[in-house]
Amino acid sequence: RSMIPLMYLLILLEYGGRIAIGMIKPLALSGTPPGAIGNLVFILIAMVGLVLSMQTVNSPRDK
């Protein structure tokens, strides 16, 4: 369970690397690729997942 935040962090780093490479060496495209909006949604979901995975939950078993 403690590795889940690391997984989300690696997902965000991978997408950040894609964005950085795209800015450094852009592709010549005739239009917006169909996956561009999906990638933004996936980045948002990964951010929310990272925040939620780092929160602690107080369960009655812990007391």
What ranges do the domains of the chain cover? 4-54
Backbone angles phi, psi at 33, to 5 degrees: -65, 150
- Distance between CA atoms of residues 45 and 39, nearest Å: 10
pLDDT per residue, tens digit, the chain (63 aa), is: 789 999 999 999 999 998 899 889 988 878 777 777 788 889 999 999 999 999 887 767 655
Record the pTM: 0.72
**What gap in Å lies between CA 29 and CA 7, rounded to an integer?**
31
Give the model's pLDDT for residue 45: 94
Give pLDDT, residue 61. Answer: 66
